[in-house]
Amino acid sequence: MNSSEKFQCIELKKKYPSIYGVPVVDRVEKSIFTIRTYGNCMSCNFCHDICCSYGADIDIQNIKRILDYAEPLENDIKISRTEWFSDTYASDEEFPGGQYSRTKVKDGRCVFLNRNGRGCLIHSFCISNNMDYHILKPMVCVLFPVTFNKGILRP
């Protein structure tokens, strides 16, 4: 793929909102169909959970859903809820509720990274409690290795 093809988008026939109303995707970056990623994340032995190095953007509605489960989640993951999220918020109409914050970073990794194994502690908590992980896990983490920006689904 040459550099002029790298950021070309395919217009979709209609708009696709998330279950929360936003983000809304109406274009897809073409490279999403040709870039290769390692599909079996939990079997990877070479990236060392690099995707979890910086924490994650998380919308304010998602933070509230997590805090609704704060006591059992805190008991399960053994990390105080005061250590979960940044105290700063940014406005962004593409995030449910119009604002987002970030998960905190501890020792160079997202606070929710399982340091005694692999993967996300929120994801594991949901599976252990027979919950759909989409309910609590940050949207950007669920979507990885793709993301959204200004109506475009992109790598």
Within 8 A by CB and 6+ apart from 19, the residues are none
**pLDDT (tens digit per residue) in 10-53:** 999 999 999 999 999 999 999 999 988 877 776 777 877 888 88
Q: Is the pTM of this model over 0.95?
A: no
Alpha-carbon torsion (74, 77, 79, 81), positive or negative: negative
Secondary structure, 3-state, the chain:
CCHHHHCCEEEEEEEEECCCCCCEEEEEEHHHHCCCCCCCHHHCCCCCCHHHCCCCEEEHHHHHHHHHCHHHHHHHHCCCHHHCECCCCEECCCCHHHEEEEECEECCEECCECCCCCCEHHHHHHHHCCCCHHHCCCHHHHHCCCEEECCEEEC
pLDDT at residue number 23? 98
pLDDT at residue 6 in the model: 55
Condensed to tens digits (0 to 9), the pLDDT of residues 66-110 reads 999 999 999 999 999 999 999 999 999 999 999 999 999 999 999
